[in-house]
Structure 1
Amino acid sequence: MVVTALALGVVLSQSVPPARAEVVMETVDYEQGGQTLEGVLAYDDAISGPRPGVVIFHAWYGPREHEMNTARRLAELGYTALVADVYGKGVRAANSEEAAKLAKSFYADRELMQARALAAVETLRESSLTDPGRLFAIGYCFGGAVVLEGARAGANLLGVVSIHGSLSTPHPAMMSNFHGSVLALHGADDPVVPPEDVRAFQKELTDAGVDWVFTTYGNAVHAFTDETADTEGARYNPIAAKRAWRDMLAFFQELLERSGGTD
């Protein structure tokens, strides 16, 4: 895996602190299977030394402003955040038809999906801005499937969060490879994830002996955290979005305290 100098070896000045805190967003090139991937690293330059890290996996269009806003908000709270690139540098969907085609190719190749997930996690782990023992990963919609496949592949993380994500998998037994905790944030009326998928996912987690929480938000459909979502089956819900953000941060804090890694 090759990572640009922007990703690794970033040095924060110890002698001349910045006049004010500022979230820095840096492009990060990394590699998986010969494919260059282009992520974005976000951090607060007023904080020195390694800090907890969060990998953010994008929805089916590819990295967009929704994921970038999440990275900025997490950086403001003292995390280093990496918006991962699952598709490949320059590979982005211009419309829903292209997005569906791209996502479908990864749903059909779970091994590749897992490899892309693990590559992003290791890229963040190698950053000098990150404490390698305090890492999380989250994913939206398609990215929710990616983050769960990363867990099934045994990603070394304190926890993962699927946010209105796809839950089904062809290999549920692989979840036993994961030794962290799982949080799923789900819209009660999500037409993309049928009730049988929810039941199968919960059984998968229980059978694997994984610590898990499944939170359902009433009156919420798919993509309820995305302010641009406005269709019958995928629509922004500000109340559910606010609750999901709160629940995600509480999950992080609990696991950091449990691991003894709080500042």
Structure 2
Amino acid sequence: MKTLLLSLMAAASASAALVEKTVEYDQGGTTLEGFHVYDDAVSGKRPAVLVIHQWTGLTDYEKGRARQLAELGYNVFAADIYGKGVRPARPDAAKEAGKYKGDRDLFRARLKAGLEVLQKEEHTDTAKIAAIGYCFGGTGVLELARSGADIAGVVSFHGGLDAAEGKAAEKGGVKAKVLVLHGAEDPNVPTDQVLAFGKEMVEAGVDWQFVGYGGAVHAFTQKMAGNDNSKGAAYNEKADKRSWEAMKVFFAEIFE
């Protein structure tokens, strides 16, 4: 593991020669448009990360996070759940996100399609894949884990934790390790949902971790959310930095 970390750090510091491209792919007859990025200073196959967007679709925010991950030496694909050109602003974003939260089979199919793009990419070490997601995407990566996807781990940043009826994690059915990074004062994820999620994970025998950040509400990693906690969604610099470090520690473990 130490060798892997040293090689990734060396690559990141060498020359961040990032290669980026837009990738079109299909699911169920719908054209999707994702974003692929990697550092060509790293040679050969490497651990890979799938990034799932928040409720306004794949934006510069997720692309920025993808670049950060690529600079750490990972092969990264930011998936598109909604479809090419579907990038709704508020309040339409809630309606679009609701389509997938209300149809978890469709949600899982779109998540799987993005994962398959990353799995087939030539730079991916298919034994070392993780998925991360923000808000809507945080809900998404948990759905990916519940579906039994054969990946090393998932990280949910301020995502919804509820399982749809009949879609909860099944005993022995979750292969991925799970890390949930949560705003302890997030009004969108009430305490009963947190407790129900913990019960679900325990009963399914999942290897899971949960970190709650005091003073943080929903969307705490996103500067575009503003800084007014009373609105229920706001950026929190401390929680943002702490959660990113927690993710890196988690990756060091699951990619060992």
TM-score, normalised to structure 1's length? 0.88
Preserved CA contact (<8 Å) 2:132 2:155:
yes
Q: Where is the helix percentage greater, Structure 1 or Structure 2?
A: 2
In the other structure, the counterpart of 1:133 is 127
Preserved CA contact (<8 Å) 1:153 1:175:
no
Instruction: Say which of 74, 77, 80 aligns to 1:79.
Output: 74
Amino acid at match of 2:248: L
Amino acid at match of 1:245: W
CA RMSD of aligned residues (A): 1.3
Preserved CA contact (<8 Å) 1:152 1:176:
no
Q: Tell me, yes or no, if structure 1 residue 97 matches structure 2 residue 91.
A: yes
Amino acid at match of 1:104: G
Shift of 1:227: 1.1
Distance 2:171 2:98 in 1: 22
Amino acid at match of 1:57: I
Q: For 2:255, what is the secondary structure of its paired residue?
A: helix
CA gap of 1:245–1:105, structure 2 versus 1, over 3 A, is same
Q: Tell me, yes or no, if structure 1 residue 117 matches structure 2 residue 116.
A: no
In the other structure, the counterpart of 1:214 is 210
In the other structure, the counterpart of 1:148 is 142
In the other structure, the counterpart of 2:238 is 239
Q: Tell me, yes or no, if structure 1 residue 200 matches structure 2 residue 196.
A: yes
Amino acid at match of 1:243: R
Shift of 1:182: 0.2
Alignment of 1:143-182 (within 5 A): 143-170=137-164, 171-174=167-170, 176-182=172-178
Shift of 1:29: 1.0
Preserved CA contact (<8 Å) 1:151 1:175:
no
Measured against aligned partners, the alpha-carbon deviations of 1:93-147 in whole angstroms (never above 9, x if no partner) come to: 0x21110110011111000001111111111010001111100001100001111
Shift of 1:31: 1.2
Q: For 1:123, what is the secondary structure of its paired residue?
A: helix
Shift of 1:175: 6.9
Shift of 1:176: 4.1
Give ranges in structure 1 of 5+ residues lacking alignment.
1-18, 258-263
TM-score, normalised to structure 2's length? 0.90
Instruction: Say which of 42, 52, 62 aligns to 2:57.
Output: 62
Distance 1:105 1:77 in 2: 34
Q: For 1:177, what is the secondary structure of its paired residue?
A: coil
